[in-house]
Amino acid sequence: MALEITEPRPMGKPIKRKEDARLVRGQGHYLDDIKLPGMLYLALTRSPYAHARIKRIDTTRAKALPGVHLVLTGEDLAKLNLSWMPTLAGDKQMVLATGKVLFQYQEVAAVVAESRALAEDGAQLVEVEYEPLPVVVDPFRALEPGAPVLREDREEASNRIFHWEVGDQAETDAALRNSAVVVKERIRMPRVHPAPLEPCGCIADYNAARAHLTWYVTSQAPHAHRTVLAMVAGLPEHKIHVISPDIGGGFGNKVPVFPGYVAAIVASLSLNRPVKWVEARTENLTSTNFARDYHMEVQLGADRQGRVTALRVTTLADHGAFDAAADPTKFPAGLFSIVTGSYDFPVAYAEVDGVYTNKAPGGVAYRCSFRVTEASFLIERAMNTLALKLQLDPAELRFRNFIPSERFPYRSPLGWTYDSGNYAATLQKALDMLDYPALRREQAERRARGELMGIGISTFTEIVGAGPSNTFDILGIKMFDSCEIRVHPTGKVIARLGTRHQGQGHETTFAQVIAEELGLTTDDVIVEEGDTDTAPYGLGTYASRSTPTAGGAAALAARRVRDKARKIAAHLLEVRDTEVEWDGERFTAAGAPDRAVGMSEVALAAYTNLPAGMEPGLEATYYYDPPNLTFPNGAYVAVVDIDKGTGAVKVRRFVAVDDCGTVINPMVVDGQIHGGLTEGFAIAFMQEIAFDEEGNCLAPNFMDYLVPTAVETPHWETGRTVTPSPHHPIGAKGVGESPNVGSPAAFANAVVDALGHLGVTNIDIPLFPWKVWEVLRQHGVTE
Amino acid sequence: MFPNAFEYVAPASLEEAVQALVRYGDDAKVLAGGQSLLPIMKLRVAAPAVLVDINRIPELAGFREDGQELWVGALTRHATLEWDQDLVPRYPLLGETAGSIADPLVRNRGTIAGSLAHADPAADWGAALLALRGAVTVRGSRGDRRIAIDDLFLDVLTTNLEPDEIITGVHVPRPTGHVAAASLKLERKVGDFAVVGVALHVETGASGAIAQAGIGLAAVGPTSLRAREAETLLVGQQLTPGLIREAADLAAKAADPASDQRGSADYKRDIVRVFVERGLGAVRDRLTGIRAESA
Ligand SMILES: Cc1cc2nc3c(=O)[nH]c(=O)nc-3n(C[C@H](O)[C@H](O)[C@H](O)COP(=O)(O)OP(=O)(O)OC[C@H]3O[C@@H](n4cnc5c(N)ncnc54)[C@H](O)[C@@H]3O)c2cc1C
């Protein structure tokens, strides 16, 4: 049962979400709800070709259309030195194409008009003459000698973007040679898209008289966006006001800066009027960043008892036309080095090559702390293959290899220090919830009758909360986060954080954290995010970082407030500072618990009745630089039945036991798990941004890019183990992404498990019915 | 996205509507439920200069049984055919088909004639009306004509309607004996167009033998298809597992699918087999139930 927001001592309780009062009534205030006086609308002309030389652009007809105010091309932007922009990954990306286009739907021209419909009419009237060039769709082909070099702007005459490696290759190879068993598998994590219900967009409102830009934008990282804008556009940072209003889902899609944003800003600067650009669904799916697209090859060694000896991973990362990955700057393959997962590998080695192809640029960390999903999918799939090879139960194989709980903090062979976990207890809990032995018996009985049932296990470890300043930055800016708390005279609080929620529930959970520290209720604390003029600087919300970073800042800022409050309480109670005790809701005089003052009395005194010499007011700010990342983990088990006639897979049960450390609000955590599992289910069974040989995108709308509804979505059963993070101020680890990271492998493992007796070890996701049917047919299974 | 600008006329009679179509020629499009036309206009794949909205024309509404036939007005919404308590028990395939189309929002707007006029081979009505041996009546500048469903579809999104012709209604023969139907649809998610669809309609005579058998296939050819040989095989027979299997194999041979993102041609053809077998099995069970009840 959910509790009211007036509940005292709210920490750990299922308090109703404060933001829902407006969001579920349709009273949220999203970007597209904002209409400014005199506002114009921008639409983009896009390339129909995946690779083509631009011979000529004629804007005459578009400019002549009544109601059109401005038409911009790459040549116009080049005069402002803005036809290219830097990406977060250290590459650059065309804003509006000059010379050639490199992916289908690439931005070629921008048309600004009185209405959105007119802007679209104008965009259609921009005439572009293209000369098609050979298209490179396959990233393996991109690296072959003689492949067309796509990026002629670079000095390197190659489609390789980067080579990155980690671990000890020689030792790993030696260990593999000496292993009794080595399994190999090619694991593909296809290109998918976060597809938030609200697409990306912005309103640029430049005021020439004030030389000031207000920029409303669907941004998960408004402060970072402001700084990038100041650096790129040369506007002084204090004259850029970034407002990120309510966001209808981000999932990483709203971390980068997109060409449409830059075009809208240039248009507003030129016209001195507000200009709105909101992408259509097709534009979202085809141009603003995809996720994943990793081609991985794994070798996993073990001894005869199944104890792992070595892991070696080789990866081709398809970044599309520009490396627009949204990773911390020093991590071209994100945190892929978490690939050893929950298992105690003595040695490991991983390498990733980034490659250009004629596809949309990216990729973003879709509900994932930078390539952690790819890593987790790989190791959990590889462990499944090892279990099949050894004919060992996949649960038993995991129990034999888990990092034991007493080994934390645990140093992984690829360099991370895991904070805490109890993997065996977590898996055991999931198995108990399902009565795993009974399911295995049922499976054997069904198999004897020719029925296909499978059980898939994924026991993942994530790495989230980027991050400690010694390692993590974006374009040099350290990845701390912040919270500022103001307690007003009547004891009511406004807290502002450097993060920006998109549905995660910060207005409730961070209010709970602060209320708990100050002896207030969730109702007493308003949380505000997303306005760069009011909130303290922070790097935003993605990578499950808000609670590990800003959540830590919130607790620590509240403790600073409480420290000052304690002094004021001593004054009110007429005792020494050291004689004041905090009972969780009130300050009491030591040894006399009936003499007490609450936070609201203290707050009033902070403005009316201070101890001599004390600075008035009651507020604090904390910039929290976390000492380490946090390592949430979980055990997910899927149970599936396969229809032999159609290849369709039905997920009969799904148990998710998560350990995200201290739980602030169990209902919000369950909500995060349900949402992420639904996305993981979609990724496993129905989603792929695929291309044909000409580079045409085959999933440019929701007819072909499938988003599950409540009808398809399985019933989720959740459970929890709690191993607090020892270094986090409240022991929380972050949870937003665990279900998306951990679940795809559970689904895939379940399907493979159903077919394991046929000798099947791998089927690429998405597990469309036809793919499963093809495998059944190869093995002579029909209805 | 927004559609291109267009003009809009909403005639109050069939005559005016036909006149408008004659006047504007190829520039005009009939607007019924808008559930196929408006999405493609929004994608700017279609850009008609004039929309002739037929929703205010009273002659196109409603349905009734006359003589040997059920007449369903062109504007009858999918939702009506899904839920109407007079129709559904007597014409089970209409109810089953309607309920498997899209989602409730689309079903509340989309019309049976709009679906047929659109002639999407993956649409559900074409297959169902083939199984039911239906027909449509159209009105154009040269008057009325009746088109058997087998003659309506020419190719993908192409019918033999003239540009100035409007479908006024759909005809379905009244069943004579016991009736059972099944509509099977493989979809990637709820509300999806069929990857493969199978519509089955079976009537039995007094002896319990099959008097009429209709098998329509969706999404396995350039138009909705009839599995004619399988139908012929069934007529005059009792539904036995062996016969059902044979009919299923024949139906699969009638399919002419193309390989695409939704599966290979082999896959789709085999799904026809599986669905016809499952569907006829269900039909047999239903007929057994009906006979038990009426006995
Ligand atoms: C999200 C979504 C999912 C869908 N899923 C399915 C599905 O699973 N199965 C399925 O079968 N369909 C599906 N549809 C299509 C739906 O059934 C449409 O309602 C139907 O195809 C068209 O009917 P309409 O009345 O909306 O026609 P409109 O969109 O108004 O018109 C369609 C075409 O027919 C012409 N037309 C309409 N009425 C007449 C008439 N009386 N005489 C002559 N020409 C006419 C129009 O000019 C136009 O060319 C889906 C649609 C949507 C939007």
Going by C-beta distance under 8 Å and a sequence separation of 6 or more, which residues neighbour residue A357? A136, A137, A138, A139, A142, A150, A159, A318, A319, A320, A321
Confidence grade of residue B291 (pLDDT, cut at 50, 70, 90): confident
Interface touch A117/B2, C-beta < 8 Å: yes
Catalytic: which of A19, A462, A679, A737? A737
Instruction: Determine which of A105, A712, A770 to mutate to test the interface with B (most B C-beta atoms within 10 Å).
Output: A770
pLDDT at residue A201, as a whole number: 98
What is the separation, in whole angstroms, between the first and last Cα of chain A?
A: 46
The gap from C-alpha B38 to its chain's centroid, in whole angstroms, comes to 20
Render pLDDT for A135-165 as a digit per residue (tens, 0 to 9): 999 999 999 999 999 999 999 999 999 999 9
Is the CB of B97 inside a 6 Å radius of any atom of ligand 1?
no
Give the number of other Cβ atoms within 10 Å of residue A305's Cβ. Answer: 11
Chain A residues near residue B189 by CB distance under 8 angstroms: 686, 706-709, 711-712
* Closest residue by CA, ligand 1 atom 50: B102
Q: How far apart are CA B263 and CA A692, in angstroms?
A: 15
- Interatomic CA distance for residues A448 and A457, integer angstroms: 22
Is the preceding peptide bond at A413 cis, omega within 30 degrees of 0? no
What is the predicted pLDDT for the residue at B66?
A: 87
Q: What is the pLDDT of residue A474?
A: 85
* Cβ-proximal residues to A35 (8 Å cutoff; 6+ apart), any chain: none
Measured CA to CA, the distance from residue A143 to residue A356 in angstroms comes to 9
Quick one: which atom of ligand 1 is closest to the CA of B161?
43
Dist CA A160 CA A773 (whole Å): 36
CB contact A66 to B (< 8 Å): no
CB–CB of A282 and B2 under 8 A? no
User: Does B199 contact ligand 1 (Cβ within 6 A)?
Assistant: no
CA diameter of chain A: 88
Instruction: Give the chain B residue nearest A704 (alpha carbons).
Output: B261
Is the CB of B33 within 6 Å of ligand 1? yes
Judge if the beta carbon of residue B39 lies within 6 A of ligand 1.
Answer: yes
**Chain B within 8 Å of A120 (Cβ-Cβ)?**
yes
| CB atoms A280 and B1 under 8 Å | yes
Cβ separation A686–B189 shorter than 8 A: yes
**Residue A268 and residue A271: Cα distance in Å, rounded?**
5
Q: What is the DSSP letter of A639?
A: E
Identify the burial level of B226 via C-beta atoms within 10 angstroms of its C-beta, where 0-12 means exposed, 13-18 middle and 19 or more buried: buried
Tell me whether residues B278 and A645 touch, CB distance under 8 A.
Answer: yes
Instruction: Spot the catalytic one: A151, A188, A191, A367.
Output: A367
Give the residue-averaged pLDDT of B229-240.
97
DSSP A343: B
A299 catalytically annotated:
no
Distance CA A48, CA B44 (A): 14
Note the pLDDT of residue A55. Answer: 98
**Nearest-angstrom CA–CA distance, A255 and A499:** 12
User: Domains in chain A and their CATH numbers?
Assistant: 20-26+481-624 (3.30.365.10), 31-135+201-283 (3.90.1170.50), 403-411+419-462+630-783 (3.30.365.10)
Residue A476: per-residue pLDDT: 86
Say if strands B50-53 and B196-204 run parallel, antiparallel, or are unpaired. Answer: unpaired
The verdict on whether omega for the bond into residue A503 sits within 30 degrees of 0, i.e. cis, is no
Indicate yes or no: CB of B189 within 8 angstroms of CB of A709: yes
Say yes or no: CB of residue B102 within 6 Å of ligand 1.
yes
Q: Where are the beta strands (DSSP E) in B88-243?
A: 135-140, 143-148, 153-155, 158-159, 166-173, 178-186, 196-204, 210-218, 225-226
Report helix, strand and coil shares of chain B as percent, to nearest 5: 40, 25, 35
Strands A181-192 and A290-302: antiparallel
Q: How confident is the model at residue B258 (pLDDT cuts 50, 70, 90)?
A: very high
Residue B1 pLDDT greater than 90, yes or no: no
**Amino acid, single-letter form, for residue B276:** V
Q: Which residues face B153 on adjacent strands?
A: B159
Task: Using CB atoms within 10 Å of the CB of residue A175, give its burial: 0 to 12 exposed, 13 to 18 middle, 19+ buried.
Answer: buried
Phi, psi of B135 (to 5 degrees): -155, 165
Output the pLDDT for position A550: 97
Helices (H) then strands (E): counts for chain A:
19, 33
Q: How does the average pLDDT of chain B come out, rounded?
A: 96
Following DSSP, what letter does each residue of A156-210 receive, concatenated? Answer: S-SSEEEEEEEE-HHHHHHHHHT-SEEEEEEEEEEEE----SS--EEEEEEETTT
Query: How far is the alpha carbon of B189 from chain A, nearest alpha carbon, in Å?
Result: 7
Ligand 1 geometric centre to CA of B46 (Å): 14
Q: Which pLDDT score is estimated for B294? A: 81
* Pair of tokens at residue A704: 């072909």
Alpha-carbon torsion (A752, A754, A756, A760), positive or negative: negative
Distance B111 CA to ligand 1 centre (A): 6
Residues on chain B touching A770 (C-beta within 8 angstroms): 195, 262-264, 267
CA of B219 to the centre of ligand 1 (A): 16
- Rounded CA gap, A495 and A486, in Å? 6
Q: Which residues of chain A have pLDDT under 50?
A: none
**Could you give the CA distance from residue A390 to residue A369 in angstroms, rounded to a whole number?**
32
Provide ipTM, 2 decimals.
0.96
Select from A707, A774, A783 the Cβ nearest to the Cβ of B274: A783
Please confirm, yes or no, whether A368 is among the known catalytic residues.
yes
Task: Phi first, then psi: give them for residue A685, nearest 5 degrees.
Answer: -115, -20
Helical packing angle, B92-99 and B124-132, nearest 10°: 170
CB B268 near ligand 1, within 6 Å: no
How far apart CA B79 and CA B106 sit, in angstroms, is: 9
Whether B183 lines ligand 1, by a CB cut-off of 6 Å, is no
Q: Among A116, A709, A770, select the one facing B190 at the smallest CB separation.
A: A709
- pLDDT higher than 80, residue B295: no
Q: Which residues of B touch A690 (CB under 8 A)?
A: 261
Pocket residue to mutate for ligand 1, from B31, B106, B120, B157, most atoms within 8 A of Cβ: B106
Chain center to CA of A213? 28
Contact check, Cβ <8 Å, B264/A708:
no
Per the CB < 8 A criterion, the answer to whether A497 and A550 are in contact is: yes
CB A728 within 8 A of CB A627: no
The closest residue, in CA terms, to atom 23 on ligand 1 is B114
Q: How many CB atoms lie within 10 A of CB A212?
A: 15
Say yes or no: CB of residue B36 within 6 Å of ligand 1.
Answer: yes
**What residues pair up with A297 in beta bridges, in sequence order?**
A186, A314
Distance of residue A1 Cα from the nearest chain B Cα, in angstroms: 31
The answer, yes or no, to whether any atom of ligand 1 lies below 6 A from the CB of B140, is no
Residue B292: pLDDT band with limits 50, 70, 90: confident
pTM: 0.97
Burial class (CB in 10 A: 0-12, 13-18, 19+), A181: middle
Centre of ligand 1 to C-alpha A377, Å, is: 41
- Residue A119's pLDDT is what? 98
Distance from CA of B61 to the nearest CA of A (A): 30
Q: What is the pLDDT of residue A552?
A: 98
Which residues in chain B touch residue A712, judged by CB atoms under 8 angstroms apart? Answer: 189-190
Please tell me which residue in A200, A202, A368, A697 is annotated as part of the active site: A368
Cα nearest neighbour of A770 on chain B: B263
Q: Quote the pLDDT of residue B52.
A: 98
**Choosing from A93, A104, A106, A220, which is the catalytic residue?**
A220
Average the pLDDT over B123-142 and give the result.
98
- Measured between alpha carbons, how far is B78 from A484 in angstroms, rounded to an integer? 56
Q: Is A778 on the interface with B (CB under 8 A)?
A: no
Contact A329, A88 (CB under 8 A): yes
Residue A620: which of A542, A560, A681, A683 has the closest Cα? A560
- C-alpha distances out from residue A77 to A211, A267, A274, A550, B188, Å: 20, 10, 19, 37, 43
Ligand 1, residue B29: give the atom nearest the CA.
47
Residue A277 phi, psi dihedral angles, 5° rounding: -125, 120
User: What distance in angstroms lies between residue A713's CA and the mean position of ligand 1's atoms?
Assistant: 27
Selected residue of A41, A115, A191, A646 to mutate for chain B interface (largest B Cβ count, 10 A): A646
Tell if the CB–CB gap between B261 and A648 is shorter than 8 Å. no
Residue-level pLDDT at A1: 79
**Ligand 1 center to B21 CA (angstroms):** 19
Contacts of B277 in chain A (CB under 8 A): 783
CB contact under 8 Å between B271 and A645, yes or no, is yes
